Structure 1
Amino acid sequence: MNEAIPGRGQYSEDARRQRLGWLRGRSGSALASLETTGLDAQKLVGNVENFVGSLEVPVGLAGPLRFAGDAARGDIVAPLATTEGALVASASRGARALTRSGGVTTAVLSQRMNRVPAFEFADIATARRFTGWLRQRRDLLDEQVRLVSRHTRLVDVDPYQIGRYLHLRFVFETADAAGQNMTTAATWQICRWLTDALAEDESLRPVGMLLEGNLSGDKKVTAGSMLFGRGSRVTAECRLSREVMAAVLKTTPEAMVKGYTATVMGAQHAGMTGHGINAANVVAALFLATGQDVACVHESGVSLFSLERDGDGVIVTLLLPNLAVGTVGGGTALPHQRDFLEMLGCAGAGGVRRFAEIVAGFALALDVSTLAAVVSGQFAEAHQRLGRARLVNWLQTPDDLNTALLQPVLAQGLDDPGVHVTRVEHRPQLHGDGIASELGALGENRKLTGIHPLRVSWTDGDGCAHTADLVAKVKSRGEEIVAGIARLVSLCGAEVADAWHRWGGYTEFTDAHRRELSVYRRTDGPLRELLPRCFGLLEDDEREAYVVLMERLRHDGQPWTRDRVRLALRAIASVHGHWLGREEELLAEGWLHQVPDPALLAKAGELWAALVRHAAADQPELLDADGRDAVLGIVEDAGNWTQELYALPRTLVHNDFNPRNLAVQDGRVVAYDWELAVVGLPQRDVVELLAFTLGEDATEAEVAAMLQLHAQAVAAVSPRAAELVAGCDWRRGYQLALREFLMTRLALYAAGHTQRQFDFLPGVVRTALRLWHFEQAHGGV
């Protein structure tokens, strides 16, 4: 077996350094330049995997170039990231020539991004009928796009039939995003709708489908993109006078026209798509500097350069038909790239047209300068001399957690309208973000999420000063967590990805962002005693901002001894007993995730089975054949045991009750991270805590004792709880909860572990399977 790269899927400085040490040992190289990096590993979720370091690409300033465009106006300096000598100098020279001639006129003619799925039909006639059927339902396609994004607009649908295959060219406008991911999501939604709508219609139903049939031209040079445009279709033009050409470019209009004619003939003979001189150099340099998708340089660098006489000068024109650029998403949020976009006045929403015009203007400047250098004999000399050496106003950076944002939050949390926040200091992060935050960042990485330690100072309504070390937990939306898991499991193969697509939206992650905030609003005593102190909540749907401001918990670092486990079981038992048998009351309040069908666990069996099979095949050292078969057996029998599970008394459960989400403060257990709270068997929290803490030396007697302790603590809460505990088989409830844990949470952990290393998981798997063997020996499973 090949040696695996360490820290798989982990975004932390410790994981980066582990990978660096591993790479040094493997390569035998010192790799001194990778020792430090200016990038924060935790902020690279969704940008890169197996992060080991960063490299510096020199960035030179070209220009200024005077623009008289639709969106770009005034004198602009461009940051060009390149290691090619003479590039910045040549672009600057062309910029001087264009500027001295009055500047460059620029315009974005259109903005399009496409995705072209391919459908296979039984025969040619069916493909033609489908085309006619689809034309009559054009408005329904728009509805599907709106389900995915309010920033995306479907502007055209072009069918291209080749025999029994039909390629459907969906053309979108994507606002300020380059749009590849956006159009993929929208097209996938349309394809899902088409597949579902025609599921029972054999006269129209396709027999196969590819999300991309390679007609879109994605990251490829194609004649279709040249004609119809892909990305921003942008043009730039300038009239150069003889005087400027002589003074700056050191050539004449006649020489430029003659050289241009020769290059056109050469391009035609070579079969070049379009006609260009050197535009791709500027495209690549600006892409690197501003966080664009560098792979799109291939298609984005395609150009049509023209030069013609105009009186005593020439008119130069450039068309970039396929400029795939964006000012939101992807690498545009990285710190250096964001700075350069801000320098250009293009950062964020509303900046893409200006940015596209800037690219076109500087590309034209470089083409003019390069052609002049070639026709005047300067080309080789210059290289020899210089070539050596809805819009949503998201919370986006930690600086958004400022006094203005936190003042109403703190005033509400302290129930003191006179609160005045005077200072917010950002403190070092001691631990990485939670798994949910990282998964949410995979689903949407343009916004601020995660754990942010703060030192907050304020005065209260009586004028007294206070300072406290707090934590702002900025939550991902549940939909983003589901999408992040989808992105993760997409790497696990079609079976897992397809199953998650069908069932992921029904899992416990739905509405996770609202659930935790709702928990902190509770006033019932047992729950309040278990929670960290909450200093305020922010729930702003308009900004998609969901924040819990709470006390900063300091873990004492002590091991989870049996005494500590018993302490935690007694603490959670008070919550279990308070709500035991009152599940209908809880669900009626509407803030807890409610599974619409009690049999859903069994219905989603294909998902759990796919996760288990993938984990066992990819990580047999984690889940061996016996473990795989044990969990698959639980999945296969889910139609029976889940009915029994839902017939037992249920309560409010934490549903993520393990040491990752627990702290002990002065003998008091504190439980946080309640985003997965559900109505379930109280034994579910017991199962997870024991799996995480007992270890492989656990005995069946210890498990039985822990169960008895928990049952007694639940029963002691109230006469109603005592009656319910006495009326059911507590160990049977534990066995059913253990089945659920193994089938769902552990299966998801195990599959995720193949892409993102969970250091805690091997021990948890071994302990959980040991607990299962105890119950098999006990005879109750």
Structure 2
Amino acid sequence: MTTADAEEMPGRGQYTDAARRERLEWLRGVTGVPLAALDEAGIPAQDLVGNIENYVSTVEVPVGLAGPLLFRGDAARGPVTVPLATTEGALVASTTRGATAVTRAGGVETRVIAQRMTRAPAFEFDGVGAAARFAGWVTGQHAELAEQAGAVSRHSRLVEVDPVQLGRVVHLRFVYETADAGGQNMTTAATWRACQWINDRLTLMPGMAPTWFAIEGNMSGDKKLTHMNAILGRGTRVTAECALDRATIRRVLKTTPEAIDRTYRIAVPAAQQAGMVGFDIDAANVIAAVYVATGQDVASVYESGGAVFGVERAGDGLRAFLLLPGLLVGTVGGGTGLPRQRACLEALGCAGDGGVRRFAEIVCGFALAVNLSTLAAVAGGQFADAHERLGRPRRVDWLTPADLDAPLLEPLLAKAMDEPELRVAEVAVRADAPQSGLLTEMTARGDRRKLAGVFPLRVGYTTPDQGVGHLDLVAKVKPLDEEVIIAAAKLASLSGGRLAELYTRWRHWTGFKDVHTREPALYRSGDPALTRVLPRVYGVHVDPAREAFVILMERLGPDVVLKDTADRPGLWRDEHVRAAIAGIARVHAAWLGREDELAARGWLGRVQSAERMAAMGELWAAMAEHAAAEHPHWITPDVLRRLRRVIDSAGEWWARLERLPRTLVHNDFNPRNIALRTPGLDLVAYDWELATLHVPQRDVAELLAHVLPADADESRVAALLELHRTSLAAAGAEPPDAASWREGYRLALWDFSITRLQLYLMTHTHRALPFLDHLVPTTLRLLELEDRRAADAG
């Protein structure tokens, strides 16, 4: 773009939508980029007079809620939830974690110490003597200068004029109180008015006329972090303090007071050596996110983020404080009047006149919370885990949405439909939001350039014989197993303590290894028993070099019922449960007793063993203890003792499991992944990424835990288990007798309760899983029924 091009920008100074569109078309022309995402304005142009120039569009930043944090401040009191505008994953979660810890320990005490805004004009004279005389004279003019400044703005009050002489130049630090405004602009105008008065007076004083003058000589520190402002203040000087007891540190922050104290003491001299102004961990994270959400001057984060953070041992716990010596915030003026920014200020109870002190205390309190959370993450070893990424030795040309088009789909459809001349004419991603399973969702914080998820497609095609046709399909694009494993490990890391440490050790044996290769291979297998229950498959595309593992299948339509009903188990009537059990029994029957053949297929991946289950007992115990601490309404002391008994004997009863007939199991057999096709209520089972070798009762145990009521009785459980056994026999298998079958179910239920259920509970700590409200009580009820049977038999 040349200078001439820049001068031809249309609509300068015009705040109309027509002018905005003209500028956008001009930008398209000079850049050659479509810029379709900028078509929608977001904010009417006429509402932005004084906020921006040459307006073309808006950029959206997502706003999340952190907290609540209990305040015991001077202006901020009670629980507060803060809106944070950010695209940094984990910031809201980390801030919330810190807020939770502080709140449980009694809250945060906050106070505004002072509020100042400075502007520092510079006067140059022909010698140091004249400069010195000027510095002496101006200190006696406070009343006149205050009058001049006050004539410009009702919000600003001049409290001090401090001359700083540097040779022939005198910098005048005008110090103001600005009430509820940030004050940078108003104090500039007020200072300009006062300086005009000074210059007028100096022209009448022989030998005192300055040789040069500027409204700012760069001593005010505007949008710069300076030692002077850290000491004297510029903006709001505000502090926050809290105490944390040992129990809260261990339970919420997942570390110990000793570990935090040691990390802090090591970090302080390191910061001094590095030349840090003050000492801080990441207060700027919260400050920037609050600034964007509430319409503050974002560039002021640079100076506002200079903080002093301190931690010290106090009894059996810690005390911590944070000082923000120069927090530039306002609740009137600037961007605070924009609709959404003002709404965020209103949500904080800080909008308009009288809100700035409360606002400053809120920002400081949450900045202290995130400092504590991040320091604890470093001390507890969670910081690196939370930022772990999959290493790649080379650049990968990942799939993008544009790849879900004819070149990829055409050969798959031509082969599946036995139409060699088939041509894909159009592909449209349906308006439905992309669907994602729990595993894919867990990996969503990876590189967003990489396509992953379940994408509904409307595909138009032509064939010589049939002419034009359409298909409703879904493309399931799978993440790598290591991406899933890392995502799960991050959840364990955030859980802290022994769980974080032990999960890292065993993470490749928690069921997620090979999830990206297992399911495509299963869909490609052509096994008749599987084909009967799978959705219709139109092809599988595998390109390891691009990390592309895509399954193209039918989009289940209105003839399918009970799809995605994990949160609505009451919809599953007895005939539905029986149909699902009978349907999966045919798959179980096809592979029962063929363990060696199944393993020889090569795609099953790692299979659990009794020896490894026993060795992993420390992990299962840590997960159960974590669940008891985080979800005591479910995992009561009695329940924890029951689970520990099962875990402690895992090696023994898993050896019994290994001696029972095993088969291919879905291993995630629940209403998230199954449905029934009408009118015959035929099973449709999808999402087979966790499929493994296990006793067939494993799938039934999981299904019953998901769909039976929490007061399920013995007779119903027994009837459904017998249905499963007889269905296998009807399909040609030779299942054991009823007593042995029930024993296999009991052991499968134990396995589910100490592994998959605990993984769900760990996830629920950080990402709500509503189906657990039903699943946990029902699982505990089923365990209780088995305990009663064992007691009666003994």
Match of 1:5 in 2: none
Q: 1:549-571 CA deviation, whole Å, 9 max, x = no partner?
A: 11112453581111100000000
Is the aligned partner of 1:763 residue 2:774?
Answer: yes
- Is contact 2:540-2:551 (8 Å) kept? yes
Match of 1:641 in 2: 653
| Residue identity in the other structure for 1:392 | V
CA distance in 2, matches of 1:271, 1:481: 40
CA distance 1:45–1:593, shift in 2 (3 Å)? farther
Q: 1:81-138 CA deviation, whole Å, 9 max, x = no partner?
A: xx9999xxxxxxxxxxxxxxxxxxxxxxxxxxxxxxxxxxxxxxxxxxxxxxxxxxxx
Match of 1:500 in 2: 503
C-alpha deviation, 1:414, in angstroms: 3.5
Match of 2:617 in 1: 605
Q: Determine helix, strand or coil for the equivalent of 2:731.
A: coil
Match of 2:757 in 1: 746
Q: 1:704-760 CA deviation, whole Å, 9 max, x = no partner?
A: 000000000011111xx22x4349710010011011000100111112111111000
Q: 1:214-235 CA deviation, whole Å, 9 max, x = no partner?
A: 99999x9775599xxxxxxxxx
- Is contact 1:508-1:593 (8 Å) kept? no
Match of 1:514 in 2: 517
Match of 1:701 in 2: 715
Match of 1:394 among 377, 393, 398: 398
Q: 1:576-598 CA deviation, whole Å, 9 max, x = no partner?
A: 01100101100011100233744
C-alpha deviation, 1:401, in angstroms: 1.9
Match of 2:702 in 1: 688
Is the aligned partner of 1:625 residue 2:630?
Answer: no
| Residue identity in the other structure for 1:549 | L
CA distance in 2, matches of 1:32, 1:598: 49
CA distance 1:429–1:616, shift in 2 (3 Å)? farther
- Is contact 1:654-1:685 (8 Å) kept? yes
Match of 1:455 among 455, 458, 463: 458
Q: Determine helix, strand or coil for the equivalent of 1:542.
A: helix
Match of 1:583 in 2: 595
- The 5-angstrom pairing of residues 200-599 of structure 1 reads 390-396=394-400, 398-429=401-432, 432-442=435-445, 445-460=448-463, 462=465, 464-554=467-557, 556-557=561-562, 559-595=571-607, 597-599=609-611
- Is contact 1:411-1:536 (8 Å) kept? no
- Is contact 1:46-1:442 (8 Å) kept? no
- The 5-angstrom pairing of residues 42-191 of structure 1 reads 49=93
| Residue identity in the other structure for 1:479 | E
Q: Determine helix, strand or coil for the equivalent of 1:725.
A: coil
- Is contact 2:581-2:700 (8 Å) kept? yes
CA distance in 2, matches of 1:541, 1:710: 39
| Residue identity in the other structure for 1:567 | A
- Is contact 1:221-1:298 (8 Å) kept? no
CA distance 1:760–1:524, shift in 2 (3 Å)? same
- Is contact 1:664-1:670 (8 Å) kept? yes
CA distance in 2, matches of 1:543, 1:215: 46
CA distance 1:460–1:599, shift in 2 (3 Å)? farther
- Is contact 2:429-2:456 (8 Å) kept? yes
Q: 1:242-264 CA deviation, whole Å, 9 max, x = no partner?
A: xxxxxxxxxxxxxxxxxxxxxxx
Q: Determine helix, strand or coil for the equivalent of 2:443.
A: helix
- Is contact 2:65-2:81 (8 Å) kept? no
CA distance 1:18–1:288, shift in 2 (3 Å)? closer
Q: Determine helix, strand or coil for the equivalent of 2:753.
A: helix
Match of 2:353 in 1: none
Q: 1:147-193 CA deviation, whole Å, 9 max, x = no partner?
A: xxxxxxxxxxxxxxxxxxxxxxxxxxxxxxxxxxxxxxxxxxxxxxx
Match of 1:129 in 2: none
Q: How many residues align?
A: 458
- Is contact 2:607-2:693 (8 Å) kept? no
- Is contact 1:442-1:483 (8 Å) kept? no
With the length of structure 1 as denominator, give the TM-score of the two structures. Answer: 0.52
Q: 1:280-300 CA deviation, whole Å, 9 max, x = no partner?
A: 9xxx99x999xxxx99x979x
5+ long unaligned stretches in structure 1: 1-15, 53-82, 87-207, 227-269, 273-279, 303-389
Match of 1:725 among 736, 743, 747: 736
| Residue identity in the other structure for 2:463 | D
Q: Determine helix, strand or coil for the equivalent of 1:660.
A: coil
| Residue identity in the other structure for 1:527 | L
CA distance in 1, matches of 2:674, 2:724: 17
Match of 1:674 in 2: 688
CA distance 1:446–1:492, shift in 2 (3 Å)? farther
C-alpha deviation, 1:49, in angstroms: 4.6
Q: Determine helix, strand or coil for the equivalent of 2:717.
A: helix
C-alpha deviation, 1:433, in angstroms: 1.7
- Is contact 1:583-1:650 (8 Å) kept? yes
C-alpha deviation, 1:698, in angstroms: 1.1
CA distance 1:629–1:431, shift in 2 (3 Å)? farther
CA distance in 1, matches of 2:511, 2:461: 38
- Is contact 2:607-2:692 (8 Å) kept? no
CA distance in 1, matches of 2:722, 2:449: 48
User: Which protein, 1 or 2, shows the higher relative CO under an 8 Å CA cutoff with sep ≥ 6?
Assistant: 1
Q: Determine helix, strand or coil for the equivalent of 2:572.
A: coil
| Residue identity in the other structure for 1:435 | L
CA distance 1:579–1:474, shift in 2 (3 Å)? same
CA distance in 2, matches of 1:271, 1:470: 58
Is the aligned partner of 1:715 residue 2:729?
Answer: yes
C-alpha deviation, 1:18, in angstroms: 12
CA distance in 1, matches of 2:546, 2:264: 37
CA distance 1:725–1:44, shift in 2 (3 Å)? farther
CA distance 1:402–1:733, shift in 2 (3 Å)? same
Q: Determine helix, strand or coil for the equivalent of 1:659.
A: coil
Match of 1:143 in 2: none
C-alpha deviation, 1:508, in angstroms: 1.3
CA distance 1:664–1:431, shift in 2 (3 Å)? farther
CA distance in 2, matches of 1:471, 1:435: 17
Is the aligned partner of 1:656 residue 2:661?
Answer: no
Moved over 6 A (4+): 16-23, 26-34, 43-47, 83-86, 212-218
CA distance 1:631–1:392, shift in 2 (3 Å)? same
CA distance 1:708–1:17, shift in 2 (3 Å)? farther
Q: Determine helix, strand or coil for the equivalent of 1:500.
A: helix
- Is contact 1:217-1:224 (8 Å) kept? no
CA distance in 2, matches of 1:593, 1:735: 25
CA distance in 1, matches of 2:457, 2:265: 51
CA distance 1:531–1:605, shift in 2 (3 Å)? same
Is the aligned partner of 1:774 residue 2:785?
Answer: yes
C-alpha deviation, 1:395, in angstroms: 2.1
Amino-acid identity (%) = 43
CA distance in 2, matches of 1:738, 1:271: 56
| Residue identity in the other structure for 2:704 | L
Determine which structure has more spread, i.e. the larger CA radius of gyration: 2
5+ long unaligned stretches in structure 2: 1-61, 70-75, 97-181, 186-257, 307-393, 566-570
CA distance 1:466–1:501, shift in 2 (3 Å)? same
